[in-house]
Amino acid sequence: MASVKYSSVDKWFGKTEVLQGFNLIVQDGEFLVLVGPSGCGKTTLLRLLAGLEELSSGEIYIDDRLVNDVPPKDRDIAMVFQNYALYPHMDVYNNLAFGLKLRKYPKVEIKERVQTASDILEIADLLDRKPKALSGGQRQRVALGRAIVRQPKVFLFDEPLSNLDAKLRVQMRAEIKNLHAKLKTTMIYVTHDQVEAMTMGDRIVILKDGVVQQMGSPAEVYDTPANVFVAGFIGSPSMNLIRGTWDGENFITNGIALSLEGNEGLEQHRGEEVVMGIRPENIVLADASNTTVILPLIIQEPLGSEVLLHFKAGETKVVAKIPSKEAARLPGEVPVRFEPGAIHYFNSRSGEVL
């Protein structure tokens, strides 16, 4: 087990700067999820930690040991990749044992470690099978097993589930969390899927263009996004982001007045263009006494127990999510209420929360 520290890390590929002054501390035993869009630098961060890529400047520590110049094999880190090619000609036992054999572990210890790992992953009855005789999920477990037998200080996962179908992905997510509960080893898990991040992380780090946008628990980043990027990235369907101006009484967007409650805090931004954010589930059907605005309903999108209502406020699309049983026979113009406690405001230029 170990903590990990990135300190002022810069990484250039030729003339492209991928990371700039990146700082992060991962606690001993933590399950940390790094999430961000494609190309934001997630894999690069893992490869730098594993020693597969060199830093341009800055330091990386594992526990208190500076590892900048430590070769990968001496860093005691195991990485599970998206493309976890198993050796096709070896059975599961030998796939698991291979790395240990290379490192010249004694036979008895190899056997013990393979046994322990295959018990944890419940693949002990598959040890004599070749990979082609395994299901996708079983193969994925063997790939995890290859990392577990190493008994590393830190596990790195780089989108290890993206090749699996949706149902298996949900199951494997739970298994990896379970694995963490059993091993209590520090784990860094990379994904571009915000649902995966929300369901798996104790703590989430949201990255964009190599820069940390926010860190926090899933609840924190969901309930109090630090900026427009996080607000739009976390949550599905994403938060409605509506540009407009507070005139002291109403929020005006595209010439439409929204009568929002509880906006005393906006007084100092009166007349200024801001971005208002509200999640679809916080737009509810209203009655005459508490209507925020009446919006034309464009289309309904049934999701089973809930329905997405797509509205237009002038040019801006607005999406609400309501229980299906409330959605029957809605009129073409629907009075809705924006729940006052659930509204966020952001600076329209910097995107930072107000």
Can you give the binding site for ligand ATP, defined by CB under 6 A?
13, 16, 18, 36, 38-44, 192
Nearer to ligand ATP, 17 or 175 (CB): 17
Residue closer to ligand ATP, measured from CB, 155 or 338: 155
Q: How far apart are CB 171 and ligand ATP at their closest, in Å?
A: 22
| Secondary structure letter of residue 74 according to DSSP | G
Measured from the CB of residue 192, what is the shortest distance to ligand ATP in angstroms? 4
Reference 320, options 292, 347, 353, 288; nearest CA is: 292
Q: Which does 40 bind (CB under 5 to 8 A by kind): ligand ATP, Mg ion, none?
A: ligand ATP
Nearer to Mg ion, 38 or 289 (CB): 38
- Give the residue with the Cβ less far from ligand ATP, 16 or 268: 16
Would you count residue 43 as binding Mg ion (CB under 5 A)? yes
Distance CA 284, CA 337 (A): 5
Helices (H) and strands (E) in the chain — how many of each?
8, 20
Q: How far is CA 344 from CA 68, 104, 249, 281, in A?
A: 42, 58, 17, 14
Of Mg ion, ligand ATP, none, which one sits near residue 235, judging by CB under 5 to 8 A according to partner kind? none
Q: Is 28 helix (H, G, I), strand (E, B) or coil?
A: coil
Q: What pairs with residue 208 in β-bridges?
A: 211
Give the whole-angstrom CA distance, residue 330 versus residue 113. 62
The amino acid at residue 44 is T
Six token digits for residue 207: 């990255």
Q: Kindly state the smallest distance separating residue 67's Cβ from ligand ATP, in Å.
A: 19
Residue 245 in the binding site for Mg ion (CB under 5 A): no
Q: Would you count residue 95 as binding Mg ion (CB under 5 A)?
A: no
Shortest distance, CB of residue 185 to ligand ATP, whole angstroms?
22
User: Whose Cβ is closer to Mg ion: residue 28's or residue 209's?
Assistant: 209
Q: For residues 354 and 352, give the distance between their C-alpha atoms in angstroms, rounded to a whole number.
A: 6
Q: Residues interacting with Mg ion, by CB under 5 A? A: 43
